[in-house]
Chains A and B, each alone.
Chain A
Amino acid sequence: MAPIIRAERLELYYGTHPALRGITMDLPANQITALIGPSGCGKSTFLRTLDRMNDLVPTVSIRGRVLYRGEDIYAPGRDVTALRKQIGMVFQKANPFPMSIYDNVAYGPRTHGIRDRGRLDAIVEESLRGAAIWDEVRDRLKKSALGLSGGQQQRLCIARALAVEPDVLLMDEATSALDPISAARIEELILELKQRYTIIMVTHNLQQAARVSDRTAFFLLGEVIEYGPTGQLFSMPRDKRTEEYITGRFG
C-alpha cells in the first residue's frame, strides 16, 4: 500500500538546536501509527511538521521533504490552510474554544465557507457522533464547551477536528491529561476512527501504543531508531536501545 505521508531526510532546527536529525519514514493510510520515545526526543516536533504547525515558531528551519499524497507540503506556494484542513490535529491539553459546543464543532466548516444552517446541523451531529459524544451533549449544544469534563472536552476537540473532514488525524498525547476511564473511551474511539482516517499518535503510554497501534516508531534524540509493526517492535525489538526503552531500563 502506498504511504499517505512520507518524510524524507527531514531535519528540523530550533535556531541552532537540532530537534529532528534526518527522519525518513512512510506512514500508511488507514492505519494507526504510534510515536514513542523519551521526553524531548522530537515526537511532537515531528508530528507538527506534518501539518506545518511549526511554521508558527519563528526560529524554526527545516530541510528535507514531507510528501502528502505524493506532493511536498513544504513546496513554495503550497496552500497551508488547505493542507491543515486535510490533516487535523488533536492536542495534549483539550482546547475547546470558549464558545458553545455547537459553535466549536461548526467552527471549521464555517471557516471553509459552509453557511447553510441545515448542513451545519448535520455536520455537527455527525461529527459529535463520530467522536462518541453526541448522546452526552445533544441536549446542551448551545451551552458553553468549557462546562464539559476533561474527557468530554477532548472528545469534543476530536469532533471539531472531524468536522472539516480530514484524511489524517494527528494526536499529541491526546489522552495523557485524562483519567483512565476517559482515556479508555478515547482509545476505543481511536480504534473506530481507524476505519476512515489515518491516525498518527504520540504517546508515553507504552501499553496504549501496544493496544491501539498498527505500527510504532521509536524516537531517540531526533532520530527514528526503529520503526515497524507494533507487535514485532514490542516483542522482538531489533535495536538494543528500543529494547531498553520498552522494558523500562532506559532514562
Chain B
Amino acid sequence: MRRRRPVETVMSAVFLLCGLVAVAFVLLITVYLVLSGLPAIRQVGLREFLFGTTWASTHATQPQFGILPLILTSIYGTAGAIVLGVPVGFFTAVYLAKAAPAPVAAVVRPAVQLLAGIPSVVYGLVGMTVLVPWVQRTFRLSAGDSLFASIIVLAVMILPSVISVSENALRAVPKEFEEASLALGATRLETYLRVSAPAARSGIATAVVLGVGRAIGEAMAILMVAGNAANMPSLFESVRFLTTGIAIELNYAAVGSLQRMALYSIGLVLFLFILLLNALLGLVLREGVDR
C-alpha cells in the first residue's frame, strides 16, 4: 500500500472529528432530554401526563400537567397545514416543473425561495397584524388568535420546501414517460397527474414528510397567532402547541420546580415525534431506492 501523505492524514482526521462532533451533539441532546424529561413524567404518571386533558401548571394548590391538549393541537395543526399546504404546493410544483413559461417561472421560483428564507418571527408578525384580525372579522369571533390562524401560517411556511422538493422530483421524471402518455391522447394535465406524479411519488412523499417536520417543530410564528390557551383544540379557539407550550412558560418556571421539569418532558415528547418522523422519512426514501 502506498504511504499516505501527512496532509491527507491530517485532513481525514479533521473530517472524522467534524463528523464525531455532530454525532456527539445528537447523543448529548438525546441523553439530556431523556434525563431531564423523565422525572416529571415519573412524578405525574405517564398516563396522566400524556392523556390528561388539563394543563394548569401554575395552579396554586392543585397544578395539573396533562399535555393531551398540546399533543392534539400539534397534530391537528400540522395535519391542517399539510391538508392546505401540500395540494397548493404540489400544484405549484407541477406548474413550475412542467407548464410555466420561462419568464413566469423566473419570477415565481425566486419568490418561493424567498419565502423559505423569511424568518419565522416575521411570519408571526404578519400573521398577528394581518391574519388574526381578518380571521376575527370574517368569522365574527371575539378573538382571531386560533388554531385556524395557526394552520394558515404553518401552511404558508411549509410551502417552499413542498414546492422545491416536489418540483425537483417532477423534473427528474424521464421525458419518455410523458411523451408516451401524450402520444396515447392524454392531455397534459392528465399526463402530469397520472404519469409524472406517480413516477415522482417518493420525492413528493419526502416533501410531505419534510413539511410535517417543519410544521411540528415551529414555535415562534404560531406563538404569535395561536392565542396560547391550553384548550383542547377546536378550530376557532385559542390553542397551545407542544412547542409553544415550552416557549411560553420556560422563562418564568422556577428552576427545579415540577413545572419546569414538565416543560422538559414536553420537549422529550416533541423529540420523540421528530424521531418518528425521521424514521418515516428514511422508510420513504428507502422505498424510493427499491423501486
Whether A53 touches B182, Cβ cut-off 8 Å, given contacts A97-B195, A99-B198, is yes
Q: How far apart are the CA atoms of A98 and B186 in the complex, in Å?
A: 17
Closest 7 CB pairs of A and B: A85-B185, A95-B176, A89-B183, A108-B184, A84-B185, A81-B185, A111-B186
Q: Are A97 and B177 in contact (CB under 8 A)?
A: yes
CB-contact partner of B184 in A98, A99, A160, under 8 A: A160
Q: How far apart are the CA atoms of A99 and B201 in the complex, in Å?
A: 12
- Shortest distance between the CB of A104 and any CB in chain B (Å): 9
Given contacts A84-B185, A91-B176, A161-B183, 20 further A-B contacts (CB under 8 A): A51-B183, A53-B183, A56-B179, A83-B185, A88-B183, A93-B176, A95-B176, A95-B179, A97-B180, A97-B195, A98-B291, A107-B181, A108-B186, A111-B181, A111-B184, A111-B185, A111-B186, A111-B190, A157-B180, A160-B180
CB-contact partner of A91 in B179, B194, B199, under 8 A: B179
Neighbouring A residues of B198 by C-beta, 8 Å: 98-99
Q: How far apart are the CA atoms of A85 and B187 in the complex, in Å?
A: 11
Q: How far apart are the CA atoms of A85 and B194 in the complex, in Å?
A: 17
- Shortest distance between the CB of A50 and any CB in chain B (Å): 11
Whether A56 touches B182, Cβ cut-off 8 Å, given contacts A97-B177, A98-B198, is yes
Neighbouring A residues of B174 by C-beta, 8 Å: 95
Count of residues in B whose CB is under 8 Å from the partner chain: 18
Whether A112 touches B179, Cβ cut-off 8 Å, given contacts A97-B195, A98-B291, is no
B118-154: CB near A (< 8 Å → 1, else 0) gives: 0000000000000000000000000000000000000
Whether A164 touches B185, Cβ cut-off 8 Å, given contacts A95-B176, A98-B199, A111-B190, is yes
- Shortest distance between the CB of A159 and any CB in chain B (Å): 12
Q: Are A107 and B194 in contact (CB under 8 A)?
A: yes
Complex A-B: 12 CB contacts under 8 Å: A56-B179, A56-B182, A81-B185, A83-B185, A84-B184, A95-B174, A98-B177, A98-B291, A107-B195, A111-B190, A161-B183, A161-B184
Neighbouring A residues of B184 by C-beta, 8 Å: 84-85, 88, 107-108, 111, 160-161, 164
Q: How far apart are the CA atoms of A51 and B182 in the complex, in Å?
A: 10
Neighbouring A residues of B195 by C-beta, 8 Å: 97, 107
Instruction: Report the tally of A-B residue pairs with Cβ distances under 8 A.
Output: 63
Q: Are B185 and A95 in contact (CB under 8 A)?
A: no
Q: Are B186 and A95 in contact (CB under 8 A)?
A: no
Q: Are A84 and B182 in contact (CB under 8 A)?
A: yes
Interface centre among B183, B185, B194, B198 (most CB of A within 10 A): B183
- Shortest distance between the CB of B106 and any CB in chain A (Å): 15
Q: Which residues of A contact B (CB under 8 A)?
A: 51, 53, 56, 81-85, 88-89, 91, 93, 95-99, 107-108, 111-112, 157, 160-161, 164
Closest to B180 in A: A95
Q: How far apart are the CA atoms of A50 and B291 in the complex, in Å?
A: 35
Q: How far apart are the CA atoms of A84 and B174 in the complex, in Å?
A: 20
B157-186: CB near A (< 8 Å → 1, else 0) gives: 000000000000000001011011111111
- Shortest distance between the CB of A232 and any CB in chain B (Å): 32
- Shortest distance between the CB of A144 and any CB in chain B (Å): 8
Neighbouring A residues of B181 by C-beta, 8 Å: 97, 107, 111
Closest to B176 in A: A95
- Shortest distance between the CB of B176 and any CB in chain A (Å): 4
Within 8 A of A (CB), among B186-223: 186-187, 190, 194-195, 198-199
Closest to A110 in B: B194
Neighbouring B residues of A53 by C-beta, 8 Å: 179, 182-183
Closest to A55 in B: B182
Closest to A109 in B: B184
- Shortest distance between the CB of B124 and any CB in chain A (Å): 42
Q: How far apart are the CA atoms of A112 and B174 in the complex, in Å?
A: 23
Q: How far apart are the CA atoms of A172 and B198 in the complex, in Å?
A: 27
Neighbouring B residues of A99 by C-beta, 8 Å: 198
Neighbouring B residues of A95 by C-beta, 8 Å: 174, 176-177, 179-180
Q: How far apart are the CA atoms of A44 and B78 in the complex, in Å?
A: 50
- Shortest distance between the CB of B90 and any CB in chain A (Å): 19
Neighbouring B residues of A97 by C-beta, 8 Å: 177, 180-181, 195, 199
- Shortest distance between the CB of A170 and any CB in chain B (Å): 8
- Shortest distance between the CB of B99 and any CB in chain A (Å): 12
Q: How far apart are the CA atoms of A236 and B182 in the complex, in Å?
A: 40
Q: How far apart are the CA atoms of A100 and B56 in the complex, in Å?
A: 56
Closest to A144 in B: B291
